[in-house]
A and B are shown apart, each in its own frame.
Chain A
Amino acid sequence: MSIPILKQGSYLIASIQSSPSDSEWREMGKILADRVGKFRSRGVVIDVTVLDLIDSFAARTLREIAKTVKLRGAEPVIVGIQPDVAFSMVELGLTLGDIATELDLEEGLATLNALLKGGGNHG
């Protein structure tokens, strides 16, 4: 199982599947860093809707992937954190740093459009 990454206009959408292994998480970071260059993407949406938990490893990996994407010149946004997952993260003291988060894919794309407006062919 690998994490599907779709190209939509100048954005990439990575849809995390349920319970990715550590190596799948790492692979996603590498692939996104690569594809941002290949497709000259301006934004990356990481969709975690199906994740039933985010532990310290997943939180740290999401932060690292987002930082890498940003260093490659694209805006990262994480979408779809479920209510129970959000509550658990707060209880555990896990944060995603200053990465943008949005309710769902639609909101994530809207946020990227707003952030990157005036930059050409989006969405």
Chain B
Amino acid sequence: MADGELRVPIHSEYDIVTARQQVRKLCAALNFSAVDLTLVATCVSELARNIVEYAGSGVMIMALENGKDARGVVIVAQDEGPGIPDIESAMKDGYSTGNGLGLGLPGCRRIMDVFAIVSNKGKGTTVTVKKWKR
């Protein structure tokens, strides 16, 4: 990813709050609307929580990115946890294998401009999301 990327290690519930604060700080340069800022921070919160709940620990990497038509923010949530056995189900509203609501991933996909997920059983999960400044 680009220079100036932010790495936020995610090990416990307290790091979820840190990740939210960091992404808000990073996005300040983009002049996002207050609603978009809240959407991005909420998505980061969901992704960070998934790491804590399902993998135990991982890292979130955040950076600003210049797209074709706009600037935006890219966030990668990475863990080396057990992986998601059934991604298709995980992307349905209401699905959950843990304590979450199952709304995290489908909600994130809905509110972000780019959403990509790669998960390998036993090797971990990487979720990449982007949001452009409208």
Contacts and interface: CB of A to CB of B under 8 A. Distances in A.
Contact of A56 (B21, B38, B101, B111): B101
Contacts of B93: 93
B34 interface: yes
Contacts of B39: 88, 91-92
A88 to B, nearest CB: 5
A87 interface: yes
Interface in A82-101: 84-85, 87-88, 91-94
A52 interface: yes
Interface stretch (B41-49, B55-63, B65-73, B123-131): B41-49
B42 A93 contact: no
Nearest to A23: B13
B35 A88 contact: yes
Contacts, number: 64
A60 B13 contact: no
A87 B37 CA distance: 11
Given A55-B46, A59-B101, A91 B111 contact: yes
B103 A84 contact: no
Interface residues of A, number: 20
A91 B104 contact: no
Interface string A31-73: 0000000000000000000001111110110000000000000
A92 B17 contact: no
A84 B110 CA distance: 16
Nearest to A87: B35
Interface of A: 19, 21-23, 52-57, 59-60, 84-85, 87-88, 91-94
Given A88-B39, A93-B93, A93-B103, 15 more contacts: A19-B17, A22-B13, A52-B38, A53-B20, A54-B42, A56-B46, A56-B49, A56-B104, A84-B35, A85-B38, A87-B35, A88-B35, A88-B111, A91-B39, A91-B110
